[in-house]
Amino acid sequence: MLDTNNTNSYSIDINNAVVSFREDIALRGVSLKVKHGEFIGVVGPNGAGKTTLLTIVNGMGKLLHGQVIVLGQNLTSGNGHSLRKKVGYVAQVESIDPRMPMIVREVAMIGRYGRLGLFKRPGKTDWEIVDKALELVGMTHLARRPIGHLSGGEQQRVAIARCLVQEPEIFLLDEPTAALDWKAKTDIMELVKRIHDLRGLTTLFVTHDLSALPIACDRVILMKDGLIWNEGPPKGLLTDEKLGQLYDLPVSEVEKRRREAVII
């Protein structure tokens, strides 16, 4: 059993973080502790601060106030780069030009360069790591396909493989199922959970789409207006009443959207 009073029990320890972009305050004194190996779903409307939360874990956000400790290290401007080698990040699917002259295997290898350095050529071991990651995400059969010729779901699988070859300890996913159809979305959610379990990662899965939230996550963080509005087990928080309050919708509208599987 983890000692919750011991800082070493946490992969992520955020204390009173304040982040501002010009005049807009994105985080308003957010505190969050995430245990090693925990799977956290982060839910909330657009503009709630969900992506900003990931950026400060990834060492990319500048704090106005507060403290962020990741894997036991206090994040500063000087150590963000070294810590990012241990933090994998997957964003939502982006449109890729079909003329892009890179095959799937080469795109996945990009994730190794954080460890190799830009001027070191990958060796046999690096390519073996890439091939293993492609096998895990089910893309071995398309390893030599041009990346721009893949579907959105296939491209997202490659993005996850590119993240995994980095050999991260923390797995950050920012709206990874956005713009995907229902089947691809379901497949990606199942894949993320399987990777989380197989690799023993600490995972933060951000979404505003309730149908994209893996119900198997250990804890749900509800965010609104740059604050953590509530947190706890999914079954206790993902009720129509609480979601109505979170999204400023009447309960009847939440019920309707759930029935119709409409993105909130």
Give yes or no for residue 62 having a pLDDT over 90: no
At 123, is the secondary structure helix, strand, or coil? coil
At 2, is the secondary structure helix, strand, or coil? coil
Give pLDDT, residue 109: 96
Give pLDDT, residue 55: 93
Q: Write out pLDDT tens, residues 193-243.
A: 999 999 999 999 998 877 776 667 999 999 999 999 999 998 888 888 998
Beta bridge partners of 173: 90, 205
CA distance 121 to 123: 6
Give pLDDT, residue 3: 43
CA 252 vs CA 16, 112, 207, 248, 259: distances in Å = 35, 48, 22, 12, 11
Give pLDDT, residue 119: 78
Nearest to 71 by CA among 205, 160, 172: 172
Give yes or no for residue 51 having a pLDDT over 50: yes
